[in-house]
Amino acid sequence: QVRLVESGGGLVQAGGSLRLSCAASGRAFSSYVMGWFRQAPGKEREFVAAIRWSDSNTYYGDSVKGRFTISRDNAKNTVYLQMNSLKPEDTAVYYCAQAFTSLRPITSAVGYDYWGQGTQVTVSS
């Protein structure tokens, strides 16, 4: 059984930074990719970033390129999302997700098998 636990969300002013963490347990060693998505009220879940476990290739959504960085710590089975230059439009619940197959798109929520409970990020103007 896979369990994903996010942490690090909170309230920050525009221009500030936050680092989210996602600790994985269970089948973490066989993961294909881990990603971050976000969902604001009334909006669809949006792809933020992903990292492929085999070679650490990273992928980013257009709205966060150049501001957010995804990274991992293999020893801790943890993925991080460093968020800089935050904007009010980054306000959302951020979800960590894990996929075990390469047969589905990395940038779509349907590509993932397991999800965390989410952590709220609020950016004030």
pLDDT recorded at residue 26:
82
CA 103/CA 118 separation, integer angstroms: 25
CB 11 within 8 A of CB 124: yes
Mean pLDDT by 10 residues, the chain (125 residues): 94 98 81 94 96 92 98 91 98 96 88 95 97
Annotate 86-114 with b (16+ C-beta within 10 A) or e (fewer): beeebbbbbbbbbbeeeeeebeebebbeb
CA–CA gap between residue 41 and residue 30 (Å, rounded): 33
Q: Distance between CA 60 and CA 30 in Å, rounded?
A: 22
pLDDT value at position 68?
98
